[in-house]
Amino acid sequence: MFSSGAGDLFQLLRDGRPRTRSELVDETGLARTSVVNRLAALTAIGLVTPTGTAAASGGRPAARLMFDQASRVCIGIDLGATHGTVGVLNLSGDVLLQESRVIDIAKGPTEILTWAVDTAERLLAASGRQQRDLLGIGVGVPGPVEHSTGRPIRPPIMPGWDGFDIPAFVRRRLTATVLVDNDVNLLALGERATQWPAVDDLLFIKVSTGIGAGIILGGVLQRGSRGSAGDIGHVQVPGTANDRDLEATASAPAIAAYLSRDGAVNIEPGDVTNRIRMGDLTAIAAAREAGRAIGEVTAMCVSVLNPSVVVIGGQLGINVQEIIAGIREVVYRRSIPLANQHLNIVPARGGSDAGIRGAGLMVLDERLCAAAVDELIEQLD
């Protein structure tokens, strides 16, 4: 039997398809009075709105109702090691406005989050919205996060952020629910929603200043017991000198350090992609070898997790074909045949707004679930 709460009824309407009251009665098995009362509550909190009528064979046409995706908004904040993006999204996860800039995450939480909140307030006003329209705020950061508290835990490339209370800082000026997660988890959510909605088992690997993975199994993001699931950057790579970890072997800073090893030139991590595009044979070979190292760790993940799609993202993952070629070479050779028989290994296609979209989806999944919607109704009473 269909659960009788208004929040449960709302989950049917989240697909965006208009329905009449009679159609909802048929879908749920609830009494018509129950459906009418629950729709009234959902309308009162602005999540459901009338939208025309259905064709009728006789008598008055039946009114249709649908999820009002424009009734509120959420904010997505995507912070990487060297970039930041802030966006305003509607309740279906569509990006309405966004703004990006170069940042240095090592400058610490106060400076970076102040910029993010300033930008969020400006975009909220530009979209014609006020804080009372804000359902929640999602924040992605490039390091391990204890999701239950929103605090980074010993993030290796984020000096000054360890244990910092990100939700409390943001709520000083934006009074809404604040959720924080690792940026790769949010990229995984955004990529799946836009490019692979029918895929339940997906592994997203970001290759950039750092290396990490977002894991979706059975359609659910896997964070692990403390939020460190997918932290593959610190897995030791078999066969490397001194058993170096993956980030020390195959990240952009690692490749740049290798190219600068003789002291003749000083290659910055941000210059690696350009060196490869210019046809630097040493850089091309180094990128292919980095791809193979990532492939060694990815092969283990594929054998253990059995995803149907592996998405390679990040600046190097998207822009350097040698990276993904090296990954494919090793994964298809090293992982077990049953796991790779129908496996797709593809570059990310979610675009520059995948991170803020994922941050928004995290908020929507939390704040529009059945229990949260029932709570909104109780607050109205």
Q: What is the pLDDT averaged over residues 57-77?
A: 87
pLDDT band at 262 (very low <50, low <70, confident <90, very high): confident
In a domain, 310, yes or no: yes
**Domain count within the chain:** 3
* 80 and 63 inside one domain: no
| Total-model pTM | 0.91
Amino acid code (one letter) for 256: A
In a domain, 52, yes or no: yes
Q: What is the CATH number of the domain that holds 90?
A: 3.30.420.40
In a domain, 183, yes or no: no
C-alpha 267/C-alpha 60 separation (Å) is 73
Q: Would you say residue 352 has pLDDT above 90?
A: no
C-alpha 121/C-alpha 58 separation (Å) is 51
* 211 and 299 inside one domain: yes
Q: Can you give the residue range of the structural domain that contains 143?
A: 73-176+354-379
Beta strand segments in the chain, E? 19-20, 48-53, 63-67, 73-79, 83-89, 95-102, 134-141, 145-146, 151-152, 177-182, 202-207, 211-217, 220-222, 309-313, 344-347
% of the chain with per-residue pLDDT over 90: 88
The tens digit of pLDDT for each residue in 118-163 reads: 999 999 999 999 999 999 999 999 999 999 999 999 998 899 999 9
Q: What is the pLDDT averaged over residues 97-112?
A: 97
* 55 and 80 inside one domain: no
In a domain, 191, yes or no: no
In a domain, 187, yes or no: no
pLDDT band at 264 (very low <50, low <70, confident <90, very high): confident
Lowest mean pLDDT among 19-33, 46-60, 153-167, 204-218: 46-60
pLDDT band at 54 (very low <50, low <70, confident <90, very high): low
Q: What is the CATH number of the domain that holds 41?
A: 1.10.10.10
pLDDT band at 273 (very low <50, low <70, confident <90, very high): very high
